[in-house]
């Protein structure tokens, strides 16, 4: 039974990556605009992140090095510093967006001032992280976030044309810049670097060793696979509910409405709870990812498993990130728009995050008998090409489509 709980790390990393506030709306938009036609992009993203998450976890278990340490060692101080700076900005913006997202969900529950809920969200998240051990945080946000499985149930309940759904898993050439924008965005969102920064550091936190590699594989496949399944559920639900009547989702309330249409108030409540914990989980992912990255780069003691007094600079970093995120949200920027900018910024970090991981994971000097097999290597290099294409295409598409506005 305890081994079932050991996939919580993967689930939390996946939920934070696949169904953060921006992805929830983005997946729903994709389904509303294009029906089932972009399901293939979710699968492409899932396979990519499973490949790389497994590598990151394996590297962490064998070498005891998380991703940022690997980046610095492999790419050198200067490049590592650029990645670090980009990562800190990305993590801060995403943390602000996710915290704002939690506040938006609370507002849908309780209808009071958004600003008040932002403060409550920040305080609640800080308190939970402060008092809870790492495993409890993983399980709380990871498992309660699975209330989003209501969208998978909704997708089935709405009884779509399954042959049309199946056709959506076959890749299609982009018919327009907007379609390409969504395809690139869906793949990029699945490969957001903070997922693996968090995942690999979490693996070190959990003291994984080579004997735990099966747990790593289970985490990567089940955890991120579940994240992909949730994305597919969201998209199919949107295709059934919103696409036929021309709804253009751009709020988290619209996302929740999809579950309500299927299951009434119960569906709504499950959706809102799931969204709150998934988005809260994303806040935890990004806040820790930022603190991990800075600490690892500068050689500080780090880790949630350490008492705050034993890792004071790590602790101060994640607290400071929350304080800065609060300031960012107070500017009034829409959390969903904020994640769109964050995805664009992440494009800078993507190749520099995954290339060092691929090089180390394929190097027998570091990995011994646990070095990449042929399939891992092949998929790893294939996806690196995909990542470079995304990195090149994302910003022009952002401008060409007016950030998806058409």
Partner 1 sequence: MVAMALLLVAVVLAGCNPLNPEELRRQVESFRSIAAEGSLIAADVADDRTKATFVRVQADTLAGEADDGAQKLNDASAPEDLQQHVARAIDLAQRASAALGDLAVSPGNEAVGAQAEDELRRIAAEAEEQAAAINEEEP
Which residues in this chain contact partner 1 in the complex, by CB under 8 A? 107-111, 241-242, 245-249, 251, 253-254, 256-257, 260-261, 264-265, 268-269, 272, 405-406
Q: In Å, how far are 22, 124, 126, 271 from 234, measured between CA atoms?
A: 13, 27, 29, 11
Tell me the C-alpha distance between 187 and 4, whole Å: 28
Nearer to partner 1, 29 or 372 (CB): 29
Positive or negative: CA dihedral 376, 382, 388, 394: negative
Quote the least distance from Cβ 358 to partner 1, whole Å: 42
Quote the least distance from Cβ 191 to partner 1, whole Å: 30
- Give the total residue count for the chain: 406
Torsion of CA 194, 151, 44, 54, to 10 degrees: 50
Nearer to partner 1, 260 or 286 (CB): 260
Neighbours of 316 (CB within 10 A): 13
Nearer to partner 1, 28 or 339 (CB): 28
Quote the least distance from Cβ 108 to partner 1, whole Å: 5
Tell me the C-alpha distance between 317 and 295, whole Å: 8
Nearer to partner 1, 396 or 406 (CB): 406
Nearer to partner 1, 110 or 130 (CB): 110
Quote the least distance from Cβ 396 to partner 1, whole Å: 21
Quote the least distance from Cβ 243 to partner 1, whole Å: 11
Q: Identify whether the C-beta of residue 259 lies closer than 8 Å to the C-beta of residue 76.
A: no
Three-state secondary-structure class, residue 247: coil
Quote the least distance from Cβ 255 to partner 1, whole Å: 11
The conformation of residue 384, written as its DSSP 8-state character, comes to H
Nearer to partner 1, 35 or 225 (CB): 35
Three-state secondary-structure class, residue 279: helix
């Amino acid at each position: 039974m305890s081994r079932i709980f050991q996939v919580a790390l993967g689930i939390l990393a996946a939920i934070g990556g696949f169904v953060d506030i921006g992805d929830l709306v983005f997946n729903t938009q994709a389904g509303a605009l294009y029906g089932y036609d972009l399901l293939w992009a979710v699968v492409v993203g899932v396979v990519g992140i499973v490949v790389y998450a497994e590598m990151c976890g394996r590297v962490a278990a064998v070498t005891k090095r998380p991703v940022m340490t690997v980046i610095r060692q492999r790419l050198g101080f200067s490049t590592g510093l650029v990645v670090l700076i980009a990562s800190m900005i990305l993590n801060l913006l995403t943390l602000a967006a996710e915290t704002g997202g939690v506040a938006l969900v609370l507002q849908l529950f309780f209808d009071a001032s958004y600003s008040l809920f932002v403060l409550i969200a920040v305080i609640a998240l800080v308190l939970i992280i402060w008092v809870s051990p790492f495993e409890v945080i993983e399980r709380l946000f990871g498992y309660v976030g699975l209330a989003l499985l209501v969208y998978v149930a909704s997708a089935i309940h709405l009884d779509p044309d399954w042959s049309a759904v199946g056709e959506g898993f076959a890749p299609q050439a982009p018919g327009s810049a907007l379609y390409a924008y969504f395809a690139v965005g869906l793949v990029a969102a699945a490969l957001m670097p903070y997922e693996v920064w968090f995942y690999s550091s979490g693996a070190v936190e959990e003291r994984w060793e080579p004997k735990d590699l099966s747990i790593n594989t289970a985490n990567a496949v089940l955890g991120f696979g579940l994240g992909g399944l949730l994305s597919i559920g969201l998209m199919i639900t949107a295709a059934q509910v919103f696409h036929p009547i021309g709804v253009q989702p751009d709020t988290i309330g619209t996302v929740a409405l999809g579950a309500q249409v299927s299951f009434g108030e119960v569906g709504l409540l499950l959706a809102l709870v799931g969204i709150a914990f998934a988005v809260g989980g994303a806040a935890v992912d990004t806040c820790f990812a930022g603190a991990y990255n800075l600490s690892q780069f500068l050689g500080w003691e780090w880790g949630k498993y350490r008492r705050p007094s034993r890792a004071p600079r790590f602790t101060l970093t994640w607290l400071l990130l929350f304080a800065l995120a609060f300031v960012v949200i107070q500017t009034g920027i829409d959390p969903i728009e904020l994640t769109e900018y964050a995805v664009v910024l992440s494009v800078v970090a993507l190749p520099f995050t995954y290339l060092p991981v691929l090089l180390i994971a394929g190097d027998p000097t570091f990995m011994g008998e646990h070095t990449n097999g042929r399939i891992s290597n092949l998929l790893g290099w294939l996806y690196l090409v995909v990542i470079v294409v995304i990195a090149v295409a994302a910003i022009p598409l952002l401008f060409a489509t007016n950030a998806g506005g058409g």
